[in-house]
Amino acid sequence: MARSLVIVGAGPAGMSAAIAAQARGARVTVVDEAARPGGQIYRQAHPALIGDDFAEASERARKERLIGAFERVLDRIEYRTETSAFALFKTGELHIASGSRTEALRADAIILTTGVREIAVPFPGWTTPGVMYAGGAQALLKSQSVLAGRSIVVCGTGPLPIVVAAQILRAGGSVAALATLNSLKVAGWQLPALWSGRELVREGLRYLTTVIRARVPRLTSYVPVRVNGREQVESVVLARVDRRGVVIPRTEREVACDVVAVNYGFTANNELAAMAGITMRHDPPRGGWLPVVDEFGRTSVARIFAAGDAAGLRGALVAEAEGQAVGAAAAADPEEITRPDFRAGLAVALAARERLSAFQDAMQQLLLVPSGLWRLPTDETIICRCENVTLAALRDALTAGYLAPNTIKRVTRAGMGWCGGRTCLHAVSALAELHGAPLAEMMTPRPLARPIPLASLANRAPAGRP
């Protein structure tokens, strides 16, 4: 009998895993929260919208090729859109919700391709309406063709702010400034790595050219330190920081804008993996707490696999190659994987993953967030938005000796709100470390990974196998 396989997520890793597993005869179910495949990076426009996603042609070609391949297997797999996976247990039982109904799925294998989400370093005013994640501003463009504001300041680390600024300009928007923390030069000397990712480098340079041609003020080593405006962003104050991330006095520059789009990198969507009791490791530039996986995506818990950025941030191309290998492994019998010909059959995908990972390793330098930046929030700055926990409240707990994430949560309620800590936990951990918290430690994961109404939980379909 064919092996059953549930894949959580329909981004590059999930789509590619589904295609590979289906080709090997597995009965595949893909669950995804979006209405259309693609995940965050290959997010598709609403079908009613005609037009551009303002991406580079080569990037668009990659996206269309993979989504096209996924769409060609749709008649042979089960694809459940607008479906949230909200709990995973070490028994391998996956709980999902769609509409007003919940269901427990059991399968021979589960692949977690849950991706990453953006993070930000809190600064005074960062909760003012108008401050958003850079990727959030990009998502508005990609899916709705909507500009986030009339005059946008884009800032943060890594390549994303450059891409977002360029796409806003191409969509006819106005970028008031582009402030990046790390100079692109930090990755420049790693020539072999850059060569291996030359397609991405070329795209990056084209985005940069768009920004330069539009004469957007570009500020390197500048970060947002304060937002002015009560009901709505009126301006942002940018300041220069040194290598440790400490603000250099008298470098402040105020830029008028109605939106501040900020990205300080990414953290893995690891809730389901942690909930299932999978052994995790801490790797901040790769996305924080990550499931420990082997080359075929196997975790410490039998039958549960992980692939793509959720197993370590390395971008869409690595995710696609890895999805192919992990999809094949999850579709195979456990002993089949140990045979040499199994690996040989995946040689192309495994080599591609290795080559592209080297490029991503070089790009890690761009994503580093120096510890000095964590001195930007002031006493009144809200760190946990759901429970309105300010830095002063957090500091009171830290000073009283509550340093472990679980105890900080109990005393301050940070992480207990609607988002379940998805927004604030990385900040809480970083601030705790500044206060001398010992080794990084994880907050105990609990169901649910998404808020689900009582009525939906009560409206439970009988347990079944996909």
Partner 1 sequence: MTDQVADVLIVGAGAFGLSAAWHMAKRRDAARIVVLDEGEFASGATGRNGAGFRMQWGLELNIRLCQESIRFFETAAETLDYPRGIELKQDGYLVLAHSESAFERLESAVRTQHRFGVPSKMLDPDECCRIVPSLGRKGLVGGSFCAEDGSASPFLWLDALLRASRREGVDVRYGTRVESVARSGIGFHVRTRVGTITAGKVLLCTDWAVPDLVAPLGIDIPVVPLPKEILVTAPAPQIVKPILVSLEHRIAVNQVGRGSIVFTVSRARDGRSTESMPDFLSFAAPKIVDLVPGLAHLPVLRAWAGVSSVTPDMQPILGETEIEGLYVAVSSYRGFMTSPAVGRIMAAMVLEGDTNDPVASQLNARRFAAGEMIVEPLLNQE
Check binding of 299 to partner 1 (CB under 8 A). Answer: no
- Residues, the chain, total? 466
CA distances, 291 to each of 41, 86, 268, 311 (Å): 21, 17, 10, 6
- Residue closer to partner 1 by CB (options 4, 138) is 4
- Binding to partner 1 by CB under 8 A, coded x per residue (else -) over 205-244, reads ----------------------------------------
Q: Which stretch binds partner 1 (CB under 8 A): 142-150, 154-162, 398-406, 422-430?
A: 398-406
428 and 394 Cβ atoms separated by less than 8 Å: yes
302 binds partner 1 (CB under 8 A): no
440 binds partner 1 (CB under 8 A): no
Minimal distance, residue 85 CB to partner 1, in Å: 14
For residue 264, give the nearest of 154, 127, 358, 177 by alpha carbon: 154
| DSSP code for 459 | S
CA atoms within 13 A on the CB side of 379: 2
Q: Which stretch binds partner 1 (CB under 8 A): 294-302, 335-343, 350-358, 447-455?
A: 447-455
Interaction of residue 183 with partner 1, rule CB under 8 A:
no
Tell me: does residue 126 bind partner 1 (CB under 8 A).
no
Give residues 401-430 in contact with partner 1 (rule: CB under 8 A): 402, 404, 406-407, 410-411, 413, 416-418, 420
Are residues 3 and 328 in contact, defined by beta-carbon separation less than 8 angstroms?
no
Nearer to partner 1, 364 or 412 (CB): 412
User: Which range of residues in 72-80, 86-94, 140-148, 295-303 is near partner 1 by CB under 8 A?
Assistant: 86-94
**Closest to 459 (Cα-Cα) out of 104, 100, 106, 105:** 100
Round to whole Å and give the CA distance between 18 and 8: 10
Contact call for residue 300 and partner 1 (CB under 8 A): no
CA 161 to chain centroid, in Å, comes to 14
Amino acid at 49: L
Instruction: Give the long-range contacts of residues 192-197, CB within 8 A, separation 24 or more.
Output: 192/358, 193/358, 193/359, 193/361, 193/362, 194/359, 194/362, 196/355, 196/356, 196/358, 196/359, 197/356, 197/358, 197/359, 197/360, 197/362, 197/363
Q: Which of 178, 254, 257 is nearest to 212 (CA)?
A: 178
Binding status of residue 101 toward partner 1 by CB under 8 A: no
Contact region for partner 1 (CB under 8 A) — 30-38, 115-123, 310-318, 440-448? 440-448
How many residues bind partner 1, per CB under 8 A?
Answer: 31
Asked if 443 is part of the footprint of partner 1 (rule: CB under 8 A), the reply reads no
Near partner 1 by CB under 8 A, which window of 143-151, 369-377, 425-433, 452-460? 452-460
* Contact pick of 1, 50, 57, 458 for partner 1 (by CB under 8 A): 458
Q: What angle do CA 69, 71, 73 make, to 5 degrees?
A: 80
Q: Which stretch binds partner 1 (CB under 8 A): 287-295, 324-332, 358-366, 456-464?
A: 456-464
- 387 belongs to the binding site for partner 1 (CB under 8 A): yes
Which among 28-36, 90-98, 278-286, 350-358 is the span making contact with partner 1, rule CB under 8 A? 90-98
Strands lying side by side in the sheet with 253-256: 222-228, 235-240, 253-256
Rounded least distance, CB 409 to partner 1, Å: 9
By the 10 Å C-beta count (0-12 exposed, 13-18 middle, 19+ buried), 385 is classed as middle
Of 54-83, binders to partner 1 (CB under 8 A) are none
- The C-alpha atoms of residue 458 and residue 461 are separated, in whole angstroms, by 9
| Single residue of 35, 76, 78, 91 touching partner 1 by CB under 8 A | 91
- The binding site for partner 1 (CB under 8 A) comprises 87, 89, 91, 93, 95, 102, 104, 387, 400, 402, 404, 406-407, 410-411, 413, 416-418, 420, 446-448, 451-455, 457-458, 460
